[in-house]
Structure 1
Amino acid sequence: MKVMHVDASAKRARSNSRALSRYFLERLRSEGVDLEVDYLDVSVDTPPHVTEAFAIATYTPASERTPAMKATLTSSDALCKRLLEADALVFAMPMYNWSVPSAFKAFIDNITRTGLTYVFTDDGGIEGQLGTQKVIFITSRGADLRPGSPFASMDALTPALKAAFGFLGVADPTFVDAQPLQFSNQEAREEALERARDELAAVASRWAQAEPSSQQNEAAAAL
């Protein structure tokens, strides 16, 4: 399984979302999944923010783009290629002020590309091109935004991700949300992380069921 793994937390060793995404990949391997990981840390290698030149270039038909336009789109083209070549997408991020980190928003802006990650159909509709990939969003949240909590209505992260990636063809992404963390006591934090790890283990098991194990791949290669 080729996995594109994207981290977006500004933190490093103290990041819960980073730790949980590593845990998920470890669980996949422990389930016998043969992984090829394409890793991107958008907090370090942040995609360029949208400029006027980018907006003009991306909506100019490919056959009509100037060399300067093609150069403007080079990094975006490369990101789209990496997404489309992956079998699964693992996105890990904290919630910053109720929504996605700005570095991940720049990532979304760079991968939402007409003619690449979505196309127009003959009847005038739009067809996303990420419909075959498994997709999981692993998030960490300082407050408790689960249904029934006082802050539930303030979750702008989940609907934003569903809308952005739904447009690109991801109909049913998986969400594993560790909450509450920062604005809770130690016991509640530990419980939230344990719940998240349990959920991730279950998702890893489901993903693994449809994948040949590394042992099976080795046996097939020996035939």
Structure 2
Amino acid sequence: MKKTLVVSYAPRKGSYTKQLVDEFIKLADGKTEITFLDLVASPPDLLLGDNLNLILYGGQPEYTDEEKKRLSNHFQLIQHVLDADHIVLASPMYNFSLPATVKAWVDTIVVTDKTFEITEDGSFKGLCEEKKALILAVAGGDYSEETTHEYFSPTIKRNFEFIGIPSEQISAFGVAQYPEKVDTIISNAKAEISKVVGQWY
């Protein structure tokens, strides 16, 4: 059975992001082995001085038990991605971009010699090419027009591409801007989720 990693950041009460995550899990139940990662309950470690330098320069010739314990969450998050056939990332948009907690997850999984490598000619090659990703994006404003600017979508798409994972995005934009249309916006997103589940499994 295919394995699916569902990564969710939905801290707000009455979260529309959570509604979309719940819909995916309901539709995919029994069709795939799901690993659920709640970034609110289990946030990634920020890349600060101690752990960042340990990641970059430690482990020679191998990590000590204490170092392994310090980086256990970091290693586990990477392994989640390596083990999955499909990845679902669900998040609201904050101030035109990724919430800090979601960006911290991205920073954790984009790592040399694990999810990408530098080739002999100095170019980059993703090491996760057999996987697929789905992004569930919710925003209060409507960023569906090409003339509007938001950095959530291109940032997460580019990072997935960098490690070799093609992605598609289902957007529920305008939930605050068009309160009278919320039910339609969410219903349309759920219908698109159903299509992806049918294609994947």
Same fold, TM-score > 0.5, yes or no: yes
What amino acid sits opposite 1:6 in the alignment?
V
1:125 aligned residue: 123
1:177-219 alpha-carbon deviations (Å, 9 max, x no partner): 0121022222x111211211121111111112xxxxxxxxxxx
* 1:84-99 superposed matches below 5 A: 84-99=82-97
The question of whether the paired residues in 2 share the 8 Å contact of 1:179 and 1:189 is answered with no
Of residues 33, 50, 54, the one that matches 1:53 is: 50
Residue 105 (structure 1) aligned with residue 103 (structure 2): yes
> 2: distance between equivalents of 1:48 and 1:118?
20
Residue 27 (structure 1) aligned with residue 21 (structure 2): no
Aligned residues: 199
Shift of the alpha carbon at 1:130? 2.0
Question: Matched residue of 1:153: which SS?
Answer: coil
The question of whether the paired residues in 2 share the 8 Å contact of 1:57 and 1:65 is answered with no
> 1: distance between equivalents of 2:73 and 2:182?
38
1:11 aligned residue: 12
Question: Matched residue of 2:57: which SS?
Answer: coil
> 1: distance between equivalents of 2:126 and 2:50?
24
Shift of the alpha carbon at 1:169? 1.2
2:200 aligned residue: 207
What amino acid sits opposite 2:76 in the alignment?
A
What amino acid sits opposite 1:3 in the alignment?
T
Shift of the alpha carbon at 1:61? 6.7
2:37 aligned residue: 40
> 1: distance between equivalents of 2:109 and 2:189?
28
> 2: distance between equivalents of 1:191 and 1:90?
22
> 1: distance between equivalents of 2:77 and 2:179?
39
1:78 aligned residue: 76
Change (3 A) 1:45 1:61: closer
Q: Which sections of structure 1, spanning at least 5 residues, go unmatched?
A: 209-223
What amino acid sits opposite 1:95 in the alignment?
M
Shift of the alpha carbon at 1:59? 2.2
- Percent identity over the alignment? 23
Residue 138 (structure 1) aligned with residue 131 (structure 2): no
Change (3 A) 1:194 1:180: same
Of residues 159, 169, 181, the one that matches 1:164 is: 159
1:92-115 alpha-carbon deviations (Å, 9 max, x no partner): 111111111111111111112112
Change (3 A) 1:71 1:190: same
Residue 180 (structure 1) aligned with residue 181 (structure 2): no
> 1: distance between equivalents of 2:148 and 2:144?
9
Q: TM-score, normalised on structure 1?
A: 0.82
2:186 aligned residue: 193
